[in-house]
Structure 1
Amino acid sequence: MAAVEQPGTAPSGLRGGLRRVEGSLRPRLREFRSWWTRSLASWLPARVRDLFGLSPQRLLLRRHGNELQLSLWRGDAERALAGLPVPEAGAAEADPLGSLLSPRIVEVPRWLVLPASAVLRRRLTLPAAAGERLREVLGFEIDRQTPFTAAEVSYDARLLGHRGDDQLEAELVVVPKATLEAALAALGALAPTLAGVDVADAGGRPLGVNLMTGAQRRLRGDPWRRRNLVLLLVAAAALFLGMWQMLANREAAADYFEQQVDEEVRQARGASLEKRQLVDLIEGGAFLQAARAGKPTMVEVMDELARRLPDDTYLEKLSVEGERILLIGLSREASALVGRLQGSPLWTDPALAGALQPDPRTRMDRFTLTAKLATAPAQAPGNAAARGAPDAAGGH
């Protein structure tokens, strides 16, 4: 709308106040109408919203090297579709994606999404009256806010929010025309099918701007959109009134049964958890008790070694890892150590690991000897748990 002022009809202060009120009220009314429409549409199933065109959809194209990533943007969610090679500019098909996508997705508007590094963004604070013609107003700020002129770039503006009644926050998004033309040329035969060019934010989501130049923009108006919206509202109201009575009759019964089910589920989960904890406690205690009882202690191993090794044998390292005993040391009778260690009830299979190495300093032989720690026969888990159940329960 354009307001025509005639001299002498109203004071200048009043005219300025009316323009400020008009500039700040219209964008908010549009935002309220958009929110109200989305809220009503959210009550309908997804198929119904798609049928009446109430779910905004975009086919997003992102280029990564020689591959073109396709994803479907519906509402506020994005779903990846496929990755395809970029079609060449001289492709025979008018629409290279026509034979690859389903008929419903082929008709979805296609948008090229540029990376965030390809554009320049500037955040500005403007009077609320600029909201009516935000893009035109920010076009005059290109020379001051960017190192480019208006003729060198393609740009768009987006409203970020209002600051009180007299100011608003906006963002200017600028891309050099050379960069945009190179991105469009890289798409080959897909470039003429684009409905717009958007930019990805830091999280990879589209900003909601259109950086295509005025000559390239395609403004598609649907003459049936308003009529379909009215019919949709009437159908939604009729459906709501028709279902209200049935929902009211079923609501009380559903709530009662839901409470009963929740209570029974809660009790069953509590009993199952307590039973599982008790079984784990009994089995764990029985396992630890059997493991400790079946293996000799370190003190017993050291005592047995002290009795069996000769006096001219010195140990540099003694370690027990699991069921393996490792001995490293010096001895004048290293070759006879295996025979001395055999027959012990605490270990089995003593053997030298590697060849003996003479030590010129001590005139002894360095040896590395291994053995397997003897353990008691393992008991059946059921018997161990049965014997440990009274003790574990009493201890707990």
Structure 2
Amino acid sequence: MNTTAQSMRPLLDRLRRAWRSSPLPSFLAWWGGELRALLPAAMQQALDGGTRWHLLELRQGNWWLRPAGQPEPLAHWPDAADPALQQQTLRQALAAVDPQDLRLALCLSASAGLRRTITLPLAARDNLAQVVTFEIDRQTPFRAEQVVVDVRELAQGAGEGRFAVELIALPRSTLDPLLERLAALRMQVDAVDLAAGDGRVGANLLPPAQRPRRRDPRRQLNLALAAACVVLAALALGQWLHNRQLALAAMQAQVEAMRGEAQQVAALRQQLQDNAGAAGFLAQKKKDSVPVLALLLDMTRRLPDTAWLERFSLDASGAIGFQGQSVQAAKLVDALKDSPLIRDVGFQGSIQPDPGTGKERFYMVGKVRTQAPAAATAPAPSGSAP
């Protein structure tokens, strides 16, 4: 059990006690019985249900299974038998019980535990579990960590301002081996209790962390029906708003249609402006850009005859990269320094000699000037050499 569930448990216990002490449970039971009597017999049988407890007891090395309140067993089998055979025997004995209604309790003899009736002030009801924990050392010969306990509020009178509860304690040294044996047999129980005649006391000594969580489909169906009733009531109360909502929806549809036409006109106007702006941008971009042929022509004129290029690249941002070989690669920066088309020329990496050609291999980068002078972009004279 997580921390949230533990913190909510005292509140749930108070609500549960307040519900039991109110006249509503008896009234609802009477009302349900009257409504049930009006149904056909077949439907009444179909609605039969409710929790059905069965007791599992270990007697002299044998497991006994019987319905609560009945002395005759449904089945019994030796504890030394194969676990799979024991599970099959248990399933066959409980085959006639609806799994949603089945509850299985490990029942120990009355002498295995300790039962004490104590009286407490009414103020202890709000935190009964904690109060009883402090009473264990005084009411039993055990310490709190040596036993598992449960407490039941009794209907008997205890004087003004007080109430009676029954403390049921079971040593962990007795319970833990049985739980380990059940875990080895893969048998899950919903409670651990002491025998009282043919039935059980009504306590649950199973540690909270080991208690199974069950979902009741009938409770979910009831919640769904209650939710459906609330929805139908809301629909009935909101029916008188229907005509007004229809008129409002028609007016809103007209407004939306007019708004849609206005948005289309605005979209067309914006598209026209965007197209005009894009055309002007492209024209200006073309005007400001430098032709690639002009770049190659300018580099051809400025680079010495002892240098040649192996690779040339130009990206959209105007970055230039070219690789090649030259006799004196270090002088290429001075050759391109005064170019009207290229700026920020420099080497990338180191200059390396090429053993095959005897020249220096280089890789240079630069930037294209955004606006090139007209003289630089003009074509070369017809008599010039490339």
Q: Which band: TM-score by shorter chain?
A: 0.3 to 0.5
Q: What TM-score do the two structures reach when normalised by structure 1?
A: 0.44
Given the two structures, how large is their TM-score scaled by the length of structure 2?
Answer: 0.45
Larger Rg: 2
